[in-house]
Amino acid sequence: MFRLNVYAIKVIYHHEMLRAWKTLFQSLASPVISTALYFVVFGSAIGSRIPSIDGISYGLFIVPGLTMLSLLTQSISNASFGIFFPKFTGSIYEVLSAPISAIEIVIAYVGAAATKSLMIGLVILFTASFFVELRIAHPIWMLAFLILTSISFSLFGFIIGLWAQNFERLQIIPLLVITPLVFLGGTFYSVNMLPPFWQVITLFNPVLYLVSGFRWSFFEVSDVSVEISMLMILVFLAICLAIVSWIFKTGYRLKE
């Protein structure tokens, strides 16, 4: 009967979280300042020209998008660096040679990265409450989207960290792929505001479903149905799990 090595998971998890606590101020200050700037620029400047979207004030409308923006980027960043640094220093071989399975390694590293990104996501929501009168129609759905998104993209970041061979490659996908997809995925606007052709194109953007479902949990307003949004997250999670499983089975970029 398979049993998880809980002690080993705790050791790696606590090590990763301890590294986060050492830079806690920088980790929390950056999203708080960024959120405040977004509200000043988008909420005030653009919000004065766009009074409301679907009956929701513009400043309130962008809160879920801002939260998802930070959640995605932080999940990927935390997980990719968390596994890349042991590869870079060579300490990954100590982990691989220890009596700990691939599942336990993934749970520890991804769990720590998801925890850190969740903390930042909640801090952003708390910060946003000082600028707008925040309301959450479905808190359970909101937490479900937060948790599943942080886990899914932490897994994705874990894959990037295993794939990357240097610090430059570590930043390629987040900067050139994820960030544009987030900004073009309805973070600061409703897809219904786009021309019909671009509405169809946007449906191929996976981030749209994350932002839309998360926004629905706040205001019961979405660009696509919440069921499809949740399905897309689960599909992405399953794909990431399959890739991670293949990496550990083949030793891809682990034995180099």
Q: What is the pLDDT of residue 173?
A: 87
- What does DSSP assign to residue 99? S
57 is written with which tokens? 């004030």
What are the per-10-residue average pLDDT scores of the chain (256 residues)? 80 87 74 77 71 83 89 90 86 81 90 92 88 89 95 95 87 86 87 88 91 94 92 94 90 70
The residue ranges of every structural domain in the chain are 6-250
Cβ atoms of 12 and 110 within 8 Å: the answer is: no
125 is written with which tokens? 């929501």
Task: Name the pTM for this structure.
Answer: 0.90
Helix, strand, coil percentages, rounded to 5, for the chain: 75, 0, 20
What beta strand segments (E) does the chain contain?
52-53, 56-57
Number of residues written out for the chain: 256
Cα gap 46→29, rounded to integer Å: 24
Cα gap 162→166, rounded to integer Å: 10
